[in-house]
Amino acid sequence: MTIIHVDTGMELRGGQWQLLLLARRLRERGHEQLIVCPEGSRLAARAQQENFPVAGWLGSYSRLAQFQRRVEFRPPDIVHAHDGRGQTLAWMVSRRTEARRVAHRRVTFVPRAWSGGKLIHRLKYTRTCHAVIAVSDFIRHILLQCGVPEAMIAVIPDGVDLPATLPEAGARRRIRNRWGFDDDRLVLGTLGSLTPEKGLDVALDAARLLERRLPEARFLVPVSRPALRPRCVPANVRIVDYVEHLDDFLPALDLFLMPSRDEGLGSAALLALSYGVPVVASRVGGLPEIVEEGYTGWLVRSGSPGELAEAVERAAQDRHRLEAFARHARVRAAAFSSDIMTERVLKLYAKLLHRDSDGSSLPP
């Protein structure tokens, strides 16, 4: 089948990485794809590096024919919008075609009822697409709350590629040494943007609490742009450049922190689990659907540096338990593999097109 992916973000954040992950797996299965995204975006650059056909746009809702003239691409079977603004664009460019439209919902935003927002939300989802992918049950409940028909919603969590093997002790030691940490350190890290909902300020406040209580702990925080680096960080926090190759980052960690205030699912936590790194996460959004408390990590109250620091202390005090959580983490991540995610998406596409997932037509 032929698929157009639409995304309007300029950065390369969780949603864009998930788009690329899905596109890779669909390409392996022989499906033709086009990625429509803003010219000059990091997604456009990365997609072109991976030899995906890319059509850039400058913010105007151009017709599908304009995109097709720029690359050799057949009329699509599916137009898949990966963000809210992209959903409107997907509708504009495909409304005169027979393509089925899919909207991906990752955010936890709930429109205010008094402003008519819920009505607009319901109309947007029921009129501009044929199906909605919710990345968690939490998001599914938000959509239902907004009046989106249950029959339109498919819960398909984000996917993750599990490393075939984890670094052996010697390789892990070299990675840690590269970052300036020896084996005696308890190394913690996080990933994500510096937007308020990601809670980096909570992690930094927890680090301040742990400077004396847990002096062997060190926090590793990658930041994509130097201008966005937080100021006045505690002495036990090291701010480093953005890490694109996670093989050089996650194996160095003993514990991954995800102190989000809002989170549709939490694909960064999935990445950490796939590398066998236990997670301390906020008990918000879809994170409790990933992190199993007492098995793969700890869940704490959102916005509480004290609870976050206490969870880190508990992890440091019982290294045997931490090692057990690390083994469990890989098993948990396997339930969210990219192959499972892709097969679920293909089944949804096939349902909309009345075809088998291999592309052959189903009988009427």
pLDDT for residue 124: 77
**Weakest-pLDDT range from 30-39, 120-129, 229-238, 353-362:** 353-362
pLDDT for residue 92: 78
- Confidence (pTM): 0.88
Residue 60 has pLDDT above 70, yes or no: no
The stretch 37-51 carries a mean pLDDT of: 94
Cα–Cα distance, 144 to 180 (Å, whole number): 48
Residue 67 has pLDDT above 60, yes or no: no
In terms of Cβ atoms closer than 10 Å to its own Cβ (0-12, 13-18, 19+), residue 235 is exposed
Assigned CATH topology for domain 2-159+337-353: Rossmann fold (3.40.50)
CATH architecture of 169-334: 3-Layer(aba) Sandwich (3.40)
269: nearest Cα among 247, 242, 244, 298: 298
Domain-wise residue ranges, the chain: 2-159+337-353, 169-334
Residue 332 has pLDDT above 80, yes or no: yes
What's the pLDDT tens digit per position in 278-328? 999 999 999 999 999 999 999 999 999 999 999 999 999 999 999 999 999
Same fold, 2-159+337-353 and 169-334: yes
**Residue environment code for 72-96, b if the CB has 16+ CB neighbours within 10 A, otherwise e:** ebeebbbbbbbbbebbbbbbbbbee
Phi first, then psi, for residue 165 (nearest 5°) are -140, 155
Q: What DSSP line would sit under 178-210, residue for residue? A: HTT--TTSEEEE--S-SSGGG-HHHHHHHHHHH
In terms of Cβ atoms closer than 10 Å to its own Cβ (0-12, 13-18, 19+), residue 203 is buried
pLDDT for residue 189: 94
Contacts with 46 (C-beta within 8 Å, 6 or more apart), sequence order: 12, 16, 20
Residue 269 has pLDDT above 70, yes or no: yes
Residue 212 has pLDDT above 50, yes or no: yes
25: nearest Cα among 350, 240, 339, 290: 339
Cα–Cα distance, 268 to 347 (Å, whole number): 25
pLDDT for residue 363: 33
The stretch 103-132 carries a mean pLDDT of: 75
CA distances from 195 to 44, 112, 235, 256, 262 (A): 22, 22, 22, 18, 11
